[in-house]
Amino acid sequence: MSNEIEITICGKQIQYDNSGVGHNFRNIDREDIGADIVMEIECEILDGGVDAIDDYIASNGQHYRW
């Protein structure tokens, strides 16, 4: 059993790219993602209509997917 806490935003499981270039996605702990990035991703999902994406580069330069 994993101790990882999966983060979901708007019902979507969010993953973070550990490699920095979009090749090593893993589940991300809630403590490892800032509130500003959570809000940015939430806006993409709700306002932008992005239901799923393979590689989203956030304003912090990090890669995420959902």
6 pLDDT band, cuts 50/70/90, is low
Of 14, 24, 2, 7, the residue nearest 58 (C-alpha): 14
Q: Do 27 and 4 form a contact (C-beta atoms < 8 A)?
A: yes
DSSP 47: T
Provide the H-helix boundaries in 1-66.
Answer: 35-46
Q: State residue 3's pLDDT score.
A: 52
CB atoms under 10 Å from CB of 18, counted, come to: 12
Dihedral sign computed on CA atoms, order 8, 65, 20, 37? negative
pLDDT tens sequence across 42-53 = 999 999 888 999
Average pLDDT of the residues of the chain: 86
Q: State residue 4's pLDDT score.
A: 53
